[in-house]
Structure 1
Amino acid sequence: MMEVGVLGDPRAAQALVDYLLSQGISAQSQATNDGVAILVEAPQFHRGREEYERFLKEPYHRRYMAASWESGQVHSGRDAKFDYGTPGLSFFQSLVTQSGPLTLLLLLVCGGIWLFWNLGFAEAIYGATHFFASWEAMGDGQWWRFFTPSLIHFSAMHVVFNLLWWWYLGGRIERERGALTLLILLLVAGTLPNLAQFALQGPNFGGLSGVVYALVGYCWISGRFNPNSVLALPPAYVGFLLLWLALGFMGMMNMANYAHLGGLLVGMVQALLDHRSRRR
């Protein structure tokens, strides 16, 4: 069987398993060091993964209570005991178990920068983190400026969009391929695409979007090599993000288009290199 995800609360995991069984998906739960893994048969992996992701978005929906009630009374003759415990704790556990140390660290860093940005420190933060103002300025040191623009965001939608995708994709990669793989993607996609963006459109940009597109490219290509991998993305997700990229180049969005495209290419190349190294 294949793992579609991990939940921090055993009762929530049982609720999802009950629902999957009610939908004709062969599923079971298994305790792990990170929580409770949800396992499904390989041919049903993508359907099981989609249901798992839907469960994360609305875990208290009545469909899961109904499935647990039916499972408790019909399948085993027991009273249904559908109870998630403390909602705040369950949410926190789910956040942690779907991530890794690096994923969570960057969430905290970007979230903290955004918080202080809106507490009146925007000018100081921008002054310390923005990209080089010119090619000549690169000769003065301060090499962190190749990367630090990736950590600053200019609107609430900007930071929420990027951090959600970072958590969703970065957490997958870190748990499946390790923190080193994710760190390489972060550093390379957080620097080279910034340089391309500067060369083609100037220094006024910021955000984690280039890294996010690197994660998309990495998961996309990894999924092409192994459709049953937990890194494989539903085609709709890839299509949405590619459409978003295209809208930027069409001038319909004010975005760092070349950083996005550069990040996508970085992720795709890294996936190809990793695939070759694993085959040796």
Structure 2
Amino acid sequence: MDYLRGMGIQAQVQQGESLLEIWVLEQDQAVAEREWQRFVAEPNHPRYHEASWHSGDTHSGLSYGKGASMMASIRSKAGPLTLTIMVLCLAIYLPWFLGWQRPIFNVLHFFESWQAFSLAEGWRIFTPTLIHFDPMHIVFNLLWWWQLGGLIERRLGTGKLFVVLIVGGTLPNLVQFAMVGPNFGGLSGVVYALVGYCWMMGRLRPESGIGLPQSYMMFLVLWMVAGFAGFMNMANWAHLGGLVVGLAQAGLDSRQRH
């Protein structure tokens, strides 16, 4: 429905006895029939996801679980790993917000120097990813993690998301440390890995059902550029590192046989 509306075709859905019927004007019937056959052949193509992203809501008149609780809505778009990381970030942020910044940062921050690296505290390569400094910071990151991480986990499995999380939560941290220093935190390096992964997979292997609209990719790249330009205080090198990680991972995954 969203895709047809985006093409300028007026369409309505009617509930039959055992199926749904899509009705269009007579002059649009040939085009709608052709598009229907394309949809049947590749229903997970990003063009349909992008149409829904751009519309912001379905025009079909169907409820899609309307009235369900917020938690049920969150769970419906997320797998166990997506939810676990969201809960973990919130559990760390709550005492941070209540004034426990110093003890939390002491436990989770990145190594102070190259000489301080130790296998005994190897978690420090990853754990800055779980620290968030203010409400806007954590809301921005968790919304993208929930949307894109949940998409990958539901489509490709928990194992695939785990790989993107670990690689996107460690290598960008190393890049940020090497370029700026140890005082950083946040899930945004992973978020940019998810962005790069979804965008590239949508172009190299659209049948996977993973994709990201071009407009969203452009917005997040401009957001990163604004950070490098000094308009915002962000972990810019972690963002860039995460984006490269996601693009590279999608390039590798798209060549695997399925």
The alignment's TM-score, normalised by the length of structure 1, stands at 0.72
Q: Give the counterpart of 2:209 among 218, 230, 247.
A: 230
Alignment partner, residue 145 of structure 2: 166
Alignment partner, residue 212 of structure 1: 191
Deviations 1:100-155 (A, max 9, x none): 00000001000111112112222111110011111111147311000000000111
| Superposition misfits of 4+ residues, deviation over 6 angstroms | 22-26
Rate the CA distance shift 1:83–1:242 in 2: closer, same or farther, 3 A: closer
Q: Give the counterpart of 1:91 among 47, 70, 74.
A: 70
The answer on whether the counterparts of 2:189 and 2:241 sit within 8 Å (CA) in structure 1 is yes
Rate the CA distance shift 1:84–1:146 in 2: closer, same or farther, 3 A: closer
Rate the CA distance shift 1:22–1:190 in 2: closer, same or farther, 3 A: farther
The answer on whether the counterparts of 1:152 and 1:207 sit within 8 Å (CA) in structure 2 is yes
The answer on whether the counterparts of 2:97 and 2:134 sit within 8 Å (CA) in structure 1 is no
Equivalent-residue separation in structure 1 for 2:209 and 2:196 (angstroms): 14
Alignment partner, residue 49 of structure 2: 49
Equivalent-residue separation in structure 2 for 1:229 and 1:261 (angstroms): 25
Alignment partner, residue 96 of structure 2: 117
Alpha-carbon offset, residue 93 of structure 1: 2.1
Alignment partner, residue 196 of structure 1: 175
What pairs up with 1:57-206 in 2 under 5 angstroms?
67=61, 87=67, 89-139=68-118, 141-206=120-185
Equivalent-residue separation in structure 2 for 1:179 and 1:44 (angstroms): 19
Secondary structure of 1:278 counterpart: coil
Q: Greater relative contact order: 1 or 2 (C-alpha under 8 angstroms, separation 6 or more)?
A: 2
Alpha-carbon offset, residue 220 of structure 1: 1.3
The answer on whether the counterparts of 1:194 and 1:259 sit within 8 Å (CA) in structure 2 is yes
**Given the alignment of the two structures, is residue 260 of structure 1 paired with residue 231 of structure 2, yes or no?**
no
Q: Give the counterpart of 1:272 among 230, 251, 255.
A: 251
Aligned-pair Cα RMSD in Å: 3.0
Alpha-carbon offset, residue 192 of structure 1: 1.1
Q: Which amino acid aligns with 1:219?
A: C
Name structure 2 gaps, 5 residues minimum. Answer: 1-13, 26-31, 34-38
The answer on whether the counterparts of 2:192 and 2:243 sit within 8 Å (CA) in structure 1 is yes
Deviations 1:15-37 (A, max 9, x none): 9xx999478989xxxxxxxxxxx
Equivalent-residue separation in structure 2 for 1:242 and 1:259 (angstroms): 13
Rate the CA distance shift 1:135–1:220 in 2: closer, same or farther, 3 A: same
The answer on whether the counterparts of 1:226 and 1:232 sit within 8 Å (CA) in structure 2 is no
Corresponding residue pairs, total: 230
Equivalent-residue separation in structure 2 for 1:164 and 1:174 (angstroms): 15
Equivalent-residue separation in structure 2 for 1:253 and 1:48 (angstroms): 34
Alignment partner, residue 4 of structure 2: none
Alignment partner, residue 11 of structure 1: none
The answer on whether the counterparts of 2:46 and 2:202 sit within 8 Å (CA) in structure 1 is no
Equivalent-residue separation in structure 2 for 1:232 and 1:22 (angstroms): 28
Name structure 1 gaps, 5 residues minimum. Answer: 1-13, 27-39, 69-81
The alignment's TM-score, normalised by the length of structure 2, stands at 0.78
